[in-house]
Structure 1
Amino acid sequence: FIPSEARPGIWVRVLPALENILYGANLSNILSAHQHVVLDVLAWFPYGIVHFGGPAVAAVIFFVFAAPGTLPIYGRSFGYVNLTGVIIQVLLPCAAPWYENRHGLAPANYGMPGSPAGLARIDALFGVDLYSTNFTNAPVVFGAFPSLHAGNAVIVTLFMSYCFPRFKPLFAGYVMWLWWATMYLSHHYAVDLVAGSMISGVVFYIARANFLPRRQADKATRWDYDYVEIGEVAGGEQEYDLAELGYRQRLLVDEWSVGGVGSEESGSASPDDGGSLWEGETLGGRESTDRESVAEIVLVSHLDLDLELHPASPRDERHPPTYPPTYKHPQTQIAPL
């Protein structure tokens, strides 16, 4: 809708030059040099099918199985990725590998038609016109940089990996599959894929830090949540979600902390004073002749607190005892359901 004379010039040589500078070769031309019908179908499935239907399927999955509020953040993030990509494509129009294969590095103009490139072989294979007409009449012919195929795949993968971390390798494998497909079909250079993925990464990490509800590992669907917590843990501190305490954490505290006494400055007794305070029964009612004892505080998943006393070996002055760091749960924004 913008007159051709008002549009910026089309970059034909920039992407091939960057490809050779960054990778030492034109990866798209290398991958598309050997073509086969099986490879055509393998490339067509992620590029021509999953790319268009996958985001909608992911939205349904987020609505049912992710924390309440995840779907709106996913939708906005997906929109920001595409909006950013289209703005860059309009301001910095670049020719795709199919243009180099067809016209070389000759100057381009906005009157040139688009091309389905490798997807034309899919139309010929099935005897239909799924892509030829649509890509030939595309409104943005010179929109190779950045690749929104890569950007959309990465933003979906990041959200899916966040909500279902056990399937991260599967999601990452899909991104690699689509990256190969875009270059095999001569629609994008590798640098286009990197740029689109970086946009998605920035958008996702902003959303995760400020707006995305935290997942709770023991919740299967959105209807299992009693509350949601928004954003990341502040200051990089470790978070202990009460719903995820399926393990025991032991904090070893020596007798100085347990008794609340023990410093010479406070005037309290010490093990070397020889007083009767250190003889006889311990807090647990056990006999102890050692100079020190250790209190073990066990925090279990349902907040049961057990206090046990175990004898410890004599202190080695060359190796003073060390204690694990303590963490406080950061203040967080809690949204009632």
Structure 2
Amino acid sequence: MQQTNTVVETETQLPLGWRERLSPSKLKTIPGRYNLPRMFSHSSKQMRESGPNPTRSISALQTSFKITDTFELLRTRKWSLFDVQYLVLAGFTIFSLWIIDPSAPIIKTLAAVGYLSLLFIPITRQFFLPSWSIWTYLLYFFSSRFIPYDIRPDILVKVLPALEDILYGVSFSNVLSAWTHPVLDLFAWIPYGIGHFGLPAICSVIMFIFAAPGTLPMFAKTFGWMSVLGVSIQLFFPCTPPWYERLHGLEPAKYGMQGSPAGLARIDALFGIDMYTTSFTTAPVPFGAFPSLHAADAILEALFLTYCFPKLKGLCLFYVCWICWATMYLNHHYAVDLLGGGIIAYSFFAVVRKYWLPIQQPGKTYRWEYEYVEIGATKKNKTLDEELGYGPVGAVKRSANLSDEFTVLDSFMHSGSSSGSSSPTSSTRSDKSDRRRD
């Protein structure tokens, strides 16, 4: 018995330090790079509500049809100056619906109800809210035909040709469109008549699957706002395109004159159908040559794709050059129009990339592999609570509803103060705050 006591006493006196190393105070000092990403740091209840894999909330989607969920989100939201964007979009939407032919009150009412339904039902809001600017642009563009002629500015006929001579010494559009051939017509038609309308959807699908969560929503917002600005410039600074110079010379232009499909008329003749003649003849903005949204859209798509997938840089550059050539060959834009569209596209992208665009993480192929996101050139680490504008009170209650990339997308317009970190490399700061609370 005495020998046993001696053995026990000897073991407890061994200088291994295992008790100190396993104490809770020591375990809390493990470097953050060895810890799992702390997506929710407010309570253990929140972790249980978010399911066995809380990081899945970054890439999952909303499936709720309850409008009350939207009202609850609005009630707990942390509003910021950037939310003025929604007031502006609402203003453009109301203006566009108001100027449409007054004899269509039923259509206006149905359109307003449809807009509100898409915005307030969670399962549709997650798609419609980030792309709201795109739908506003389309409504704004097609309804602009109803703006009274007497309040519009004069149409500028000589400005763009003069700028062409000053900047380049020659009109590239007139030179490139001087000689035509059916093969060249088809080659120009592919990007201008098909790619311009279909490529935004293709890019969206690619970014949704393979880019970091939140990239697609920022692309949609940027695309829509850039287009709204482009149409506004075309309305306040109306200029005649190259086809007008070819048909009417430098004669003054008047509102009410028909547009022209220009080179696309040869495509209709080639296929024996009316794909472009009627639509371009009755275009809402026939004198919207500057800036070229064909060039702006292609350049913006190329910038986003090369940011997410650098290996596609050569392909994107080829497509931009291709569509720029097509716009001039088909006699729809001057080279200065392409320059204006490119400047606008790059300006929007540069701002979004610096402040709100999620950063691609090496080794991540699909959006579902992301456990956290860093946004902007400054690599700000955002928790989902912070991105959605929730404080510590609302976060626990709504943790299960944070599984919506298209709601999180809206978060990237906010830069509120940090309430935690979703990055493994920054969880040490949270550890220190936990020790102070203990």
TM-score by length of 1: 0.70
1:125 corresponds to: 270
Query: Any conservation in 1 of the 2:238–2:289 contact (CA below 8 Å)?
Result: yes
**SS at structure 2 position matched to 1:227:** coil
What is the deviation of 1:84? 0.7
1:179 corresponds to: 324
1:227 corresponds to: 372
> Any residues of structure 2 matched to 1:129-140 within 5 Å, and which?
129-140=274-285
What is the deviation of 1:136? 0.3
Corresponding residue to 2:221 among 43, 55, 76: 76
AA of the residue aligned to 2:155: I
Query: Any conservation in 2 of the 1:230–1:335 contact (CA below 8 Å)?
Result: no
Query: Any conservation in 1 of the 2:299–2:320 contact (CA below 8 Å)?
Result: yes
2:298 corresponds to: 153
Q: Percent identity?
A: 58
Two-structure CA RMSD over aligned residues (Å) = 1.5
* Aligned positions, number: 240
Rounded Cα–Cα distance in structure 1 between residues aligned with 2:198 and 2:240: 26
1:56 matched to 2:201? The reply is yes
> Any residues of structure 2 matched to 1:127-276 within 5 Å, and which?
127-233=272-378
Rounded Cα–Cα distance in structure 1 between residues aligned with 2:321 and 2:216: 25
Corresponding residue to 1:30 among 155, 169, 175: 175
AA of the residue aligned to 2:217: P
User: Which sections of structure 1, spanning at least 5 residues, go unmatched?
Assistant: 235-330
What is the deviation of 1:156? 0.5
2:191 corresponds to: 46
Corresponding residue to 1:99 among 238, 244, 257: 244
Runs of 4+ in 1 over 3 A off after TM superposition: 333-337
1:4 corresponds to: 149
Query: Any conservation in 1 of the 2:242–2:331 contact (CA below 8 Å)?
Result: yes
Q: Say which structure is richer in helix.
A: 2
What is the deviation of 1:35? 0.4
User: Which sections of structure 2, spanning at least 5 residues, go unmatched?
Assistant: 1-145, 380-417, 425-438
What is the deviation of 1:3? 1.1
Query: Any conservation in 2 of the 1:228–1:334 contact (CA below 8 Å)?
Result: no
Query: Any conservation in 2 of the 1:147–1:193 contact (CA below 8 Å)?
Result: yes
Greater relative CO, 1 or 2 (CA 8 Å, sep 6+): 2
Rounded Cα–Cα distance in structure 2 between residues aligned with 1:155 and 1:192: 15
1:13 matched to 2:155? The reply is no
2:259 corresponds to: 114
Query: Any conservation in 1 of the 2:355–2:378 contact (CA below 8 Å)?
Result: no
What is the deviation of 1:336? 7.0
Rounded Cα–Cα distance in structure 1 between residues aligned with 2:421 and 2:346: 26
Q: Which of structures 1 and 2 has the bigger CA Rg?
A: 1
